[in-house]
Amino acid sequence: MAEVGAAALPVLVGLILLFGYVKGVPVFDTFLSGAKEGLRTSLKLLPTLVGLLVAVSMVRASGLLELLCVPLAPVAESLGVSPELLPLALLRPISGSGASAYTLDLLQRFGPDSPTGQMASVLSSSTETTFYAVAVYFGACG
């Protein structure tokens, strides 16, 4: 079964190339055109992504993230949620890598089988980096 999986991608690429050749499409020129457009889009998005990453790093390094969590801690405790999860909940919609690093820290401190570790795992795996995605989409629009 592993052989089928390993062969699937090369077979698919071969079929696409064959289909393009049969239809008379200049496959390599079309590929180069798409690659050039992809690079232009990447360069257009770069300032937006760098700004977002710098902002997230500044918020984490300055302690603002923890400061934002202080007034929310009693609410979280009353709901039965560990206050240690609040930075993760605030960070996850903005930065996937920052949230992953914080999740790893929580798992190392509390253990993966603890209630905090389990909630951190669920929170990390069930949410989208919404603000990151919005920044990328609007950055691509111009």
On whether residue 73 sits in a domain, the answer given is yes
pLDDT single digits (tens) 49-81: 888 888 888 888 898 988 989 999 999 999 999
pLDDT at 101 (0 to 100): 87
What is the pLDDT confidence band of residue 22, given thresholds at 50, 70 and 90?
very high
When divided into structural domains, the chain yields a total of 1
pLDDT at 113 (0 to 100): 96
pTM of the model: 0.63
On whether residue 91 sits in a domain, the answer given is yes
pLDDT single digits (tens) 36-50: 999 998 898 888 888
On whether residue 74 sits in a domain, the answer given is yes
On whether residue 6 sits in a domain, the answer given is no
Whole-number Cα distances in Å, 5 to 11, 13, 69, 129: 10, 14, 46, 30
Dihedral sign from CA coordinates of 114, 97, 88, 109: positive
pLDDT at 82 (0 to 100): 92
pLDDT single digits (tens) 106-142: 999 999 999 999 999 999 888 777 777 777 777 777 6
On whether residue 22 sits in a domain, the answer given is no
On whether residue 18 sits in a domain, the answer given is no
Helices 27-62 and 96-110 pack at an angle, to 10 degrees, of 50
pLDDT at 142 (0 to 100): 62
Dihedral sign from CA coordinates of 6, 9, 12, 17: negative
- The more confident residue out of 86 and 53 is 86
Burial of 83 (0-12, 13-18, 19+ CB in 10 A): middle
On whether residue 31 sits in a domain, the answer given is no
Domain that holds residue 111: 40-141
Angle ∠(106,123,138) on CA atoms, nearest 5: 115
On whether residue 1 sits in a domain, the answer given is no
